[in-house]
Amino acid sequence: MRALLDRIKEHEVLVGDGAMGTMLFSKGLKTGECPERMNLDLPEVLEEIAKLYLEAGADIIQTNTFGGSPLKLSQYSLDAKTEEINVNAVSAVRKVVGERAYVSASCGPCGRLLKPYGDVNPEEVSAGFERQLRAVVAAGVDMICVETMTDLTEATLAIKAAKSVSPTIPVCATMTFDPTPNGFFTIMGVSIKQASKGLAEAGADIIGSNCGNGIENMIKIAVEFRKHTPLPLIIQSNAGLPEMKGGVPVYPETPQFMAEQSRKLLDCGVNIIGGCCGTTPAHIAAIRKMVDKFNKS
């Protein structure tokens, strides 16, 4: 398999996968259960999901390790199983995709706020990310995706942990922004300009945004990122914001709508397009089709 960053350098646009959480729920995850517990109990479910996204045409398949840092797992008293949880997740995806797609280790927030806003020390957060990422690297991931961050310091710690565990594996880092009358900011007050600078300085190879917004806001976010960074960009949008219909959440953006809109992401120089909450293999398949046309042109 050719190196991911080389393909981006040669102007190929890559396709990421879609939502994990909603897929897990549809396959038996119970409310309140630790999503990463599936990695211990039902790794075959992870294989099924990876297969669906691979068949939809994703070039990059994420592992079910979003909450796989020991700090986060400790909320479910599963921190002692950090290694097993992370290794199983990587193995399940690799088993399905082989060398047909890149296996990307998801690494979400640790779930605690750093001092002085919260109660946790940066050393503890770093050590946690290192432990998680050492496990996924040992299991053979192709890239690491630090995602859904809102605190730039925490994002920085995760990126540095990834680079300390492996200086060569590409690291992607995304943050989640909210629209405000003064532009986009994370809930912790990080602007896109600050994110562009901070994530790059920490050593990220690919930067961008995921979650929190539908595709239309994501286009604005991408435009803003492009103003501030020469690095490859990744955008993983929600399928809109959920609306409750008869007690069931419905994500309003259809595969076709997202794919059409995603064309605009390519115009502003986005290099990887995937999906977040509410996106399905059908969304990824539609985006794949659109991206294929672009790559050929």
Give residues in contact with other proteins (CB under 8 A).
25, 31-33, 75, 111, 113, 116-118, 180-182, 185-189, 242-244, 247-249
Shortest approach of other proteins to residue 279 CB, angstroms?
Answer: 15
Residue 62 vs 186, nearer CB to other proteins: 186
Residue 19 vs 270, nearer CB to other proteins: 19
Shortest approach of other proteins to residue 125 CB, angstroms?
Answer: 16
Residue 243 vs 292, nearer CB to other proteins: 243
Shortest approach of other proteins to residue 247 CB, angstroms?
Answer: 7
Q: Do the Cβ atoms of 144 and 107 come closer than 8 Å?
A: yes
C-beta atoms surrounding 202 within 10 Å:
22
Shortest approach of other proteins to residue 89 CB, angstroms?
Answer: 20
Which distant-in-sequence residues (6+ apart) come within 8 Å of 61 by Cβ? 17, 50, 53, 54, 93, 96, 97, 101, 102, 103, 104
Residue 25 vs 294, nearer CB to other proteins: 25
- The letter for the amino acid at 221 is I
Number of continuous H segments (helices) and E segments (strands) in the chain: 12, 12
Shortest approach of other proteins to residue 98 CB, angstroms?
Answer: 33
Buried (b) or exposed (e) across 226-258, using 16+ Cβ within 10 A? bebbebbbbbbbbbbeeeeeeeeeebebebebb
Strand-pairing partners, residue 107, are: 146
C-beta atoms surrounding 89 within 10 Å:
30
Residue 185 vs 225, nearer CB to other proteins: 185
Shortest approach of other proteins to residue 51 CB, angstroms?
Answer: 24
Residue 67 vs 232, nearer CB to other proteins: 67
Distance, CA of 28 to CA of 234 (rounded, Å):
30
